[in-house]
Amino acid sequence: MNLTLPMFSGATRRRVAGIGARVAKAGVSLIGLLTLTFVIGRVMPIDPVLSVVGPDADQATYREVYRQLGLDKPVWAQFGSYLDHLAHGDLGRALLTGRPVAEDIVRVFPATVELATAAIVFGALLGIPLGVFAATRRGRFADQVIRVGGMLGYSTPIFLVGMLALLVFYAHFGWTGGVGRVGLGEEGVVAPVTGFLLIDAALRGDWAVWKSALHHLMLPATILGLHSTAYISRMTRSFMLTQLSQEYVLTARVKGLSERAVVWGHVFPNILVQLLTVVALVYGTLLEGAVLIESVFAWPGFGQYLTSSLLLGDMNAVMGCVLLVGLVFIVLNLLTDVLYQVVDPRTRP
């Protein structure tokens, strides 16, 4: 019996080729980013050896650790050795914790994902309607209020907002949790399975820990969400104003369609692709590590880990973080391309 393999259509082949080309370009960019980060790390005025041995170590100990870290080799040789280990899935050991960098990242990244996801959902659900509302009332009082509020929300230092929010909503009113992911009494009660504390607590059925985790997540997520709302609403308003000036909008109104039908049925679908790009970029930025908000709230996430590693000159950890950030943006770009084709058939090959 003859078996014939089904042939892919021309459109499918073009789609796969396009995705492959984007992945290849992203890979080249990632190697360039790693190279630049590695070179900068080697010329920074921070001595990683002192982070290991301390300032009181004798010269013999210092030289031995210097050799063990490979710092006695040329920079190009050090980078080549790093790439060789990377090809075998080895990101090296972190000076900060003494554990493999990959294990550290797996441990801290879910906390940032949990925080960033809550923030982007809040920001998108609030920012997009506000932007649409402002655009449909251009120049009116409501538009001015939303624009000024967005400008203040985006330009106000987020660490200042975080400290004031802790002072008011936690210390004074007691409406939210304080620093950390859970209260001291719930710390370490739920063994990590996925790394996402809300999910792990729910899987175990420990609703006291779940409630504490949600209580502690609310304030930092809301602050990040409001910061995201400011940017998303501004971009949504700009996209909407561009579309509202198009002739098809006038035609729809002449036909007697209601303003709601014109805005949500005709105009809004035409800005979805642009909005997806904005939301993906904001989410990627949050996943890089909301360093300041994580520091204010002692949130044990990716941003805090990256900051501590930079201060120690721990290049293994820094390079691992840079690699993860690059992969995050690659994945988000690919997912956004797929969503483009779902929401707008005109983008399909």
The pLDDT tens digits for 280-338 are 889 988 887 577 888 888 888 888 888 888 887 788 888 888 888 888 887 887 777 77
Q: Other CB atoms closer than 10 Å to residue 348's CB: what's the count?
A: 11
Q: In 3-state terms, what secondary structure has residue 296?
A: helix
CB 187 within 8 A of CB 180: yes
Using 50, 70 and 90 to split pLDDT, how confident is the model at 91?
Answer: confident
Looking at residues 170-199, what average pLDDT do you find?
84
Q: In 3-state terms, what secondary structure has residue 194?
A: coil
Looking at residues 136-142, what average pLDDT do you find?
88
Instruction: Record the tokens describing residue 2, joined without a space.
Output: 């003859």
- pLDDT greater than 80 at residue 130: yes
- pLDDT greater than 80 at residue 56: no
Identity of the residue numbered 42: R
Looking at residues 80-92, what average pLDDT do you find?
80
Q: Which of 298, 276, 302 is nearest to 113 (CA)?
A: 302
CA distance 299 to 118: 14
Q: 109-347 belongs to which CATH class?
A: mainly alpha
Using 50, 70 and 90 to split pLDDT, how confident is the model at 44?
Answer: low
- pLDDT greater than 90 at residue 47: no
CB-count exposure of residue 301 (10 Å: 0-12, 13-18, 19+)? buried
Of residues 66 and 46, more confidently modeled: 66
Q: Which of 103, 212, 164 is nearest to 202 (CA)?
A: 212
* Stretch among 6-15, 39-48, 230-239, 285-294 having the lowest mean pLDDT: 6-15
